[in-house]
Structure 1
Amino acid sequence: MTNTLKRPEVLAPAGTLEKLKVAIHYGADAVYIGGNAYGLRSRAGNFSYEEMEEGVAFAKERGAKVYVAANMVTHEGDAKGSGEFFRTLRDIGISAVIVSDPALIEICITEAPGLPVHLSTQSSATNFETLEFWKNEGLERVVLGREVSMDEVAKIRQNTDIEIEAFIHGAMCISYSGRCTLSNHMSHRDANRGGCSQSCRWKYDLFDMPFGEERRSLTDTGEVSEPFSMSAVDMSMIEHIPDLVKNGVDSLKIEGRMKSIHYVSTVSNVYKKAVDSYISDPENYECKQEWIDELWKVAQRELATGFYYHTPTDEEQLFGKRRKIPVYKFIGEVLDYDEATKIATIRQRNHFRLDDQIEFYGPGFTHFEQDIKEMWNEDGESIEKAPNAMMIVKMPVEQPVKPGDMIRKQK
Structure 2
Amino acid sequence: MPELVLPAGDLEKLKVAFLFGADAVYLGGKDFSLRAYAGNFTSGQMREGIAFARSHKGKVYVTVNILARNHDLKILPGYLEELAELGVDGMIISDPGVMGLARKYAPEVPLTVSTQASVTNYATAAAFRDLGASRIVMARELNLDEIAEIKNRVGIELEVFIHGAMCVSYSGRCLLSHYMTGRSANRGACAHPCRYQYTLMEEKRPGQYYPVFEDEQGTYILNSRDLCLIGYLPQLIAAGADAFKIEGRMKSPLYVASAATTYREAIDTCINRPDLYESSLPHWQTELARTATRPYTSGFITGEDESIQDINKEEIEHADFVGVVHSYNSLYQALVVQQRANFGPGDNLELLLPEGRTEKVELVRLYDENGDEIDRARHPLQTVLVPFTQPVPEYAILRKV
TM over 0.5: yes
Task: Return the alpha-carbon distance in structure 2 between the equivalents of residues 70 and 228 of structure 1.
Answer: 32
1:115-165: per-residue Cα shift (whole Å, max 9, x none)? 111100011111222212211111100000000101111222222221100
Larger Rg: 1
Shift in alpha-carbon separation, 1:78–1:326, aligned structure 2, 3 A: farther
The alpha carbon displacement at 1:269 in A equals 1.2
Q: What does residue range 11-410 of structure 1 map to in structure 2 within 5 Å? A: 11-209=5-203, 215-218=207-210, 228-286=220-278, 287-312=280-305, 327-337=318-328, 342-398=333-389, 400-410=391-401
CA distance in 2, matches of 1:198, 1:63: 35
Q: Kindly indicate whether the alpha-carbon contact (under 8 Å) linking 1:302 and 1:323 is maintained by their aligned counterparts in 2.
A: no
What is the aligned partner in structure 2 of residue 10 from structure 1?
4
Q: Evaluate the alpha carbon distance shift between residue 323 and residue 382 of structure 1 in structure 2; reply closer, same or farther with a 3 A threshold.
A: closer
Q: Please give the alpha-carbon distance, in whole angstroms, between the structure 2 residues aligned to 1:385 and 1:173.
A: 38
Q: Deviations over 1:225-264 (max 9, x none)?
A: 9765211100011122211222221110000111111111
**In structure 2, what is the Cα distance between the partners aligned to 1:169 and 1:220?**
27
Distance of 1:179 and 1:395 partners within structure 2: 46
| Residues 269 and 81 of structure 1, relative CA distance in 2, 3 Å threshold | same
- Cα pair distance change 1:209/1:152, threshold 3 Å: closer
The unaligned stretches of length 5 or more in structure 2 are none
What are the Cα deviations for residues 352-405 of structure 1, in whole angstroms up to 9, with x where unaligned?
222322111111211121321233222222333222222222233256522221
Percentage of pairs with the same residue: 37
Q: How big is the alpha-carbon RMSD for the aligned residues of Structure 1 and Structure 2?
A: 2.4
1:326, distance to aligned residue in structure 2 (A): 5.8
Taking the aligned partners of 1:285 and 1:220, their CA distance within structure 2 comes to: 38
Q: 8 Å contact 2:158–2:242 — kept in the other structure?
A: yes
Task: Name the CA distance, whole Å, in 2 between partners of 1:251 and 1:176.
Answer: 21
Worse-superposed segment, 389-398 or 262-271: 389-398
**Further displaced range: 373-382 or 18-27:** 373-382
Poorly superposed stretches of 4+, deviation over 6 Å: none
Counterpart amino acid of residue 45 in structure 1: G
Q: Give the letter aligned to residue 290 of structure 1.
A: H
Q: 1: CA distance between counterparts of 2:390 and 2:62?
A: 38
Q: For the Cα contact (< 8 Å) 2:200–2:212, is it kept in 1?
A: no
Aligned length: 394
Distance 1:192 1:284 in 2: 42
Shifted more, 71-80 versus 52-61: the winner is: 71-80
Assess, with a 3 A threshold, how the Cα gap between structure 1 residues 227 and 27 changes in structure 2: closer, same or farther: closer
Describe the shift of the 1:214–1:172 C-alpha distance in structure 2 as closer, same or farther (beyond 3 A): closer
Residue-by-residue CA offset, 1:30-64 (whole Å, 9 max, x unaligned): 11111122221111112111111111111111111
Q: Distance in 2 between matches of 1:134 and 1:15?
A: 27
Q: Which amino acid aligns with 1:389?
A: P
Take 2:66 and 2:316, find their aligned partners in 1: how far apart are those partners?
A: 33
Q: Aligned pair in 2 of structure 1 residues 172, 325: CA closer, same or farther (>3 Å)?
A: farther
Pair 290,399 (structure 1): closer, same or farther in 2 beyond 3 Å: farther
CA distance in 2, matches of 1:27, 1:366: 13
Q: Distance in 2 between matches of 1:388 and 1:343?
A: 19
Contact 1:32-1:66 within 8 A present in 2 as well: yes
**More moved, 156-165 vs 85-94:** 156-165
Partner SS, residue 78 of structure 1: helix
CA pair 381-284 structure 1, distance change in 2 beyond 3 A: closer
Q: CA deviation at 1:283?
A: 4.1
Structure 1 residue 310 displacement after superposition = 2.7
Closer, same or farther in 2 for the Cα pair 1:324/1:310, shift >3 Å?
A: farther
In 2, are the aligned partners of 1:347 and 1:392 still within 8 Å (CA)? yes
Q: Is the 8 A contact 2:266 2:277 kept in 1?
A: no
Distance 1:190 1:209 in 2: 29
Shift of 1:341: 7.0
- CA–CA distance in structure 2, aligned partners of residues 308 and 361 of structure 1: 30
Question: Shift in Å at residue 324 of structure 1?
Answer: 7.3
Alpha-carbon distance in 1 for matches of 2:141, 2:260: 23
**Which residue does 1:3 correspond to in 2?**
none
